[in-house]
Amino acid sequence: MRFESYRMEFSATPGQAGSAVACEDLINKQVQVWGTFTATFDLQGRCSSDAAWQNIASITGPGLTSVPGTFQALRLSTSAYTSPPTGVVLAGTNSRVD
């Protein structure tokens, strides 16, 4: 097992979502947002590619958000936006044995 992290994209347009990030191989998942920003992002996940997106948490400031282990993919949907964060990353421990 090893630590992995992936940048997450977001949209500057409320009602739009960034690209999905596959995370089925990660355990102990966290999403970290940093920097000074004015926005609200809905962290969304789904358990399979044909399932509906489910809201996990609303992110309005810098910090870490824990993600349950059952999700296959995550994305950020923008519900309010004025200025962007410095960055957003999904991180966790890869569950594969190398």
Provide mean pLDDT across the span 63-67: 95
Angstrom distances, CA of residue 93 to CA of 7, 49, 71: 15, 22, 14
> Residue 98 pLDDT > 70, yes or no?
no
Six-digit token string for 90? 């999904």
State the pLDDT at residue 84: 87
Domains and CATH numbers, the chain: 3-92 (2.60.120)
pLDDT digits (tens, 9 = 90+) for 19-41: 999 999 899 999 999 999 999 99
Q: Is the pTM of this model over 0.75?
A: yes
Provide mean pLDDT across the span 69-77: 93
